[in-house]
Amino acid sequence: MVKIPKRHEVCRKFKEQGGKVAAVLPIHYPRALLRAFDILPVEVWGPPQVDVSYGGAHLQPYVCSIVHNALSFLKTGGLDETDIIIVPHTCDSLQGFGSILLDFVKPRQPVFPIYLPRGKRSEDVEFLVNEFKSLYRGLEKITGKSPMDDEMLKRIEIEEEADAKLKELYEIRGEFSFESGKTKSRSSKGEALSTYDFYRVVRAREFLPAEKFIEIADEVISEYSFVRDGVPVILSGIVPEPMEVLNAIEEAGGFVVVDDLACCGRRLYGRGKSSEPLKRMAERIIFGPPDVTRGNLIEERFEHLKYLAEVTGARGIIFYTVKFCEPELFDLPDLKNMLKSAGVPSVQVEIDIGDPLPHQTITRLTAFLEVLA
Ligand code: SF4
């Protein structure tokens, strides 16, 4: 079992060394900018096990469980150790969450929204750069620091290295290359990580400092092998919660060879080029893998998923969606039809991240995998 430090220990240690901790809501934000201010971003994807009645006092029942749980978590003290809250405008639900914090709940921590452009034009890059400038000014006031360009570029390079390492992990485990297709099997060594264990490592990127993540990824690459049995499939959606779904897929004879999850594969940003730090951060996000919440077209998502199926040998796609997630649900009917026409079958299951994995979901996944086998 790979040893991953616990989230609260990571936060405590970071603060003991003089840094601050930011609670960051999904999905896209400039990690390097926060680190340049000695702030550790720790992401909040729910979490699953909370008493949701606290959030329910402020939210309509048709708001997704990520937002319900996050608000309940905050109201029950789950974010008390954090110093800042960052809310990217990922969707209407998160925009609503940001407004509730600013206008009603008013937490002790300062709240910074980030508005994301919905395109890839030069105007979109400029818009996001301006958002980051505004965040920079806010963080200056809180920390009293004003990192220079060279400090920010240094932080960007470390984050780029961590993302490259994450990509490498996917490639070695799935025996493929994101750029050029199938690769040779690496002779196996060490303990074999299950899908669940692999995703524990991948998702450690949500809270570990990039340097520590690189260290753990290197350890996995050199000392572990991977369970690769089963029908290769792509897992798409927002977040693999409850994480038991990964065991359920494996037990039903599937192998998640790669993913298109908002918390994982949709954030495999490439290395940037610009020497202007804020522009480089903005470009990395805007030109990252297609994501409906950044306004990418269904056609782009279709091409991306079809390409992933080609290079990995995946025989189908599991759309694992969060109930009431409008951005995802808007795309799915057309996206699934386009994939079907291209010979890529898919199945869609909906979950609430706070619920145990329903038997009905396991049955549907099992039936889908049996058909693909
Ligand atoms: S699950 Fe969907 S609706 Fe909920 S916060 Fe994420 S993107 Fe928004």
Range of the domain at 70: 9-146
Contact 116, 89 (CB under 8 A): yes
Q: What ranges in the chain are assigned the alpha helix state H? A: 7-16, 31-36, 53-56, 65-75, 92-100, 122-143, 149-174, 195-203, 210-223, 244-251, 277-286, 298-312, 326-341, 359-372
Asked if the structure places residue 125 within a domain, the reply is yes
3-state secondary structure of 111: strand
Token code pair at residue 360: 């009905």
CA dihedral sign of residues 262, 268, 254, 301: positive
Q: How far is CA 303 from CA 177, 288, 298, 310, in A?
A: 17, 14, 9, 10
Using the mean position of ligand 1's atoms as its centre, give its distance from the Cα of residue 59 in Å. 14
Q: Which pLDDT score, from 0 to 100, does residue 145 have?
A: 98
Using the mean position of ligand 1's atoms as its centre, give its distance from the Cα of residue 309 in Å. 25
Number of domains composing the chain = 1
Task: Please choose, from the candidates 170, 322, 319, the residue with its C-alpha nearest in 3D space to the C-alpha of residue 242.
Answer: 322
Q: Which pLDDT score, from 0 to 100, does residue 185 have?
A: 72
Q: Which pLDDT score, from 0 to 100, does residue 116 have?
A: 96
- Length of the chain as a residue count: 373
Q: How far is CA 103 from CA 36, 100, 294, 315, in A?
A: 29, 5, 26, 48
Contact 325, 303 (CB under 8 A): no
What does 199-222 look like in DSSP terms, one character per residue? HHHHHGGGTS-HHHHHHHHHHHHH
Q: Using DSSP bridges, classify how beta strands 231-237 and 254-261 pair: parallel, antiparallel or unpaired.
A: parallel
What type of residue sits at position 161? E
Using the mean position of ligand 1's atoms as its centre, give its distance from the Cα of residue 108 in Å. 24
Using the mean position of ligand 1's atoms as its centre, give its distance from the Cα of residue 101 in Å. 17
pLDDT tens track, the chain, 373 positions: 899 999 999 999 999 999 999 999 999 999 999 999 999 999 999 898 898 888 888 999 999 999 999 999 999 999 999 999 999 999 999 999 999 999 999 999 999 999 999 999 999 999 999 999 999 999 999 999 999 999 999 999 999 999 999 999 999 999 999 998 777 777 677 999 999 999 999 999 999 999 999 999 999 999 999 999 999 999 999 999 999 999 999 999 999 999 999 999 999 999 999 999 999 999 999 999 999 999 999 999 999 999 999 999 999 999 999 999 999 999 999 999 999 999 999 999 999 999 999 999 999 999 999 999 9
Task: Give the number of the atom of ligand 1 that is nearest the alpha carbon of residue 293.
Answer: 7
CA distance 23 to 227: 33
Pocket-forming residues, ligand 1, beta carbon under 6 Å: 26, 64, 66-67, 90-91, 93-94, 238, 293, 322, 325-328
3-state secondary structure of 97: helix
* CATH number, residue 102: 3.40.50.11890
- Residue to probe by mutation, ligand 1, list 29, 90, 236, most atoms within 8 Å of CB: 90
Q: Which pLDDT score, from 0 to 100, does residue 182 have?
A: 73
What does 58-73 look like in DSSP terms, one character per residue? TS-TTS-HHHHHHHHH
Asked if the structure places residue 255 within a domain, the reply is no
Asked if the structure places residue 221 within a domain, the reply is no
Token code pair at residue 296: 């990418």
Q: Which pLDDT score, from 0 to 100, does residue 283 have?
A: 98
